[in-house]
Amino acid sequence: MLRGSKRVAMQYSPRCAVPYVAMVDAGTVEVIRGLGVEVVTSAELIQEFEALLTDAQFETHVEAGHVVDRVCAGAFRFIGDRLSLRRQRD
């Protein structure tokens, strides 16, 4: 299938820099490289064709990030308050 190919994009991420992309196992990458074919990451292709957001989608994505940040901060405040109360009682 790869006859004549010099390069192939795979679900591979060098040093697992983008875990979402790192789906192909090392053995498969070794086999392909052993055929003299360069294996490159498909991250840019995924970004271009799969992970593109409209302006509205990006806006809701950013908004969701702010909500997650507030929830996380609130959770840590809650934990800190409970630990302080426990120390005061002990």
What's the CA gap between 72 and 78, in Å, rounded?
Answer: 10
What's the CA gap between 23 and 64, in Å, rounded?
Answer: 27
List per-residue pLDDT tens for the chain, 90 residues long: 888 999 999 999 999 998 888 999 999 999 999 999 999 999 999 888 887 889 999 999 999 999 999 999 999 999 999 999 988 887
What's the CA gap between 8 and 31, in Å, rounded?
Answer: 12
Length of the chain (residues) = 90
Q: Give me the pLDDT at residue 52, please.
A: 84
pTM over 0.85: no
Task: Kindly write down the DSSP assignment for every residue of 20-83, as one continuous string.
Answer: TT--S-HHHHHHHHHTTPEEEE-HHHHHHHTS---HHHHHHHHHHHHHHHHHHHHHHHHHHHHH
Contacts of 84-87 with C-beta under 8 Å, sequence gap 24+, read none
Every domain of the chain and the residues it spans: 1-52, 53-90
